[in-house]
Amino acid sequence: MSHRILVTGASGYLGGTLLARWKEAQLPPYSKLYALVRKQEQANAVKEYGAEPITIDCQDPEAIKKTLVDNKITIILYLIDALGKTSVPFIEGLSEVKEATGQDVHFVFTTGAKLFSSHVGTPTDKPLLDTNPALYDIQKSLDVPSSNGWMRVAVDANNTVIEKAGDLGVRAYIFAPCIVYGKGEGFGNKISIQTVAIVKAAKKVRRVYKVDKGRPTWPVCHVVDNSTLYLEIVRNILAGKDIGHGRDGYFLGSAGSVAWDDLYAAMAQAMAKRGAVDDAEVKEADDEVLQKMGNALDSHKEMVPVHLGGSCTFTAEHGRKIGWKPQYEAQHILEAADEEVELILENLE
């Protein structure tokens, strides 16, 4: 029996672009492509991409497992929740499919580069490769206080996926997008997260502010390259290759890193040009400014650097080892900052 694949988050920024790029990827043969949807218009939209819509009440673990078993789904691309609130029943459902069919089953979980950064106490004094065999142990030993809200939950979610999948014979992959930019190509959300936070906060305080000391860097990736990494993982799975899973299954989607300072400067230029900030000078945020930026981001002032700053030396190597070649170098995000700001302002309005 060949694979049946479930893509989730198809109305989102990452999942939408992934689905839009699906056909041209010319993947090896598989049996069927499903897309998880929650509305009729989404169901109609995913059909245009050759996917059969599927609806699951994700609050109901039994419904998740039953749907996977009934449809004999063997590969899941999970892009709906980095906190992994429903990851366990999806993994359990895959395991039941494996038991019933004898086929290998795969769970690609989407986390985020923040969970491999200074925000959760990951060492940032040297590059941390996504092929580092100690990544699980590093994540497991992170001392993220529970007062640190969702980041504690998100780190635990990565570990739980690896542990649960390992126990149940499911091959798990931890896919970490970083600062993703570029116009979303799907039918739903067209804009990303961190670049959007920079624009939202700057609009509110009429200036782009830096939120860290020094010149920290962060990995970046064009949304198309992020999608082709998912596709390369699927291609390898369909070809029957073992690309490393579980503790060896981390993938960072990134072409390289840039300094936040350079990104702020490029975006400040673009915002000043459109009158969205008073001028293009980037200043250091003080407490009062952080408070206002927090208001714009619906967040406490202490969490503002988590939205748009911090240090992350997570470095992508795994994708290239399985044949992924990003089209856009890291510096491209600076060249594309003008377009990015235009896109975000349009979509925020």
Ligand X SMILES: NC(=O)c1ccc[n+]([C@@H]2O[C@H](COP(=O)([O-])OP(=O)(O)OC[C@H]3O[C@@H](n4cnc5c(N)ncnc54)[C@H](OP(=O)(O)O)[C@@H]3O)[C@@H](O)[C@H]2O)c1
Residue placing its CB nearer to ligand X in the complex, 177 or 294: 177
Helices (H) and strands (E) in the chain, counts: 14, 14
Is residue 319 part of the contact set for ligand X (CB under 6 A)? no
Nearest distance in Å: CB 180, ligand X: 4
Q: Which residues contact 281 (CB under 8 A, 6 or more apart)?
A: 207, 268
Residue from 4, 6, 7, 12 that binds ligand X (CB under 6 A)? 12
Residues 92-111 that bind ligand X (CB under 6 A): 110
Nearest distance in Å: CB 34, ligand X: 13
Residue placing its CB nearer to ligand X in the complex, 175 or 207: 175
Q: How are beta strands 171-177 and 4-7 bridged, if at all?
A: unpaired
DSSP 42-109: HHHHHHTTT-EEE---TT-HHHHHHHHHHTT--EEEE-S-TT-TTHHHHHHHHHHHHHHH----EEEE
Nearest distance in Å: CB 220, ligand X: 10
CA separation, residue 34 to residues 53, 107, 143, 236 (Å): 6, 14, 38, 19
Is residue 13 part of the contact set for ligand X (CB under 6 A)? yes
Residue from 5, 6, 7, 14 that binds ligand X (CB under 6 A)? 14
The C-alpha atoms of residue 7 and residue 108 are separated, in whole angstroms, by: 10
The C-alpha atoms of residue 11 and residue 34 are separated, in whole angstroms, by: 13
Q: Which residues contact 135 (CB under 8 A, 6 or more apart)?
A: 128, 247, 250
Residues 31-90 that bind ligand X (CB under 6 A): 36, 38, 58, 79-82
3-class secondary structure, 220: strand
Nearest distance in Å: CB 64, ligand X: 10
Residues 186-215 that bind ligand X (CB under 6 A): 188-189, 192-193
Nearest distance in Å: CB 10, ligand X: 6
Nearest distance in Å: CB 102, ligand X: 29
Stretch that binds ligand X, among 7-15, 120-128, 199-207, 269-277 (CB under 6 A): 7-15
Is residue 293 part of the contact set for ligand X (CB under 6 A)? no
Residue placing its CB nearer to ligand X in the complex, 35 or 268: 35
What is the b/e burial string over 80-108, where b = at least 16 CB atoms within 10 angstroms of the residue's CB?
bbbebebbbbbbbbbbebbeeeebbbbbb
Give residue for tokens 């936040």: 260
Nearest distance in Å: CB 223, ligand X: 8
Residue placing its CB nearer to ligand X in the complex, 80 or 151: 80
Query: Would you tell me which residues interact with ligand X (CB under 6 A)?
Result: 9-15, 36, 38, 58, 79-82, 110, 112, 177, 180, 188-189, 192-193
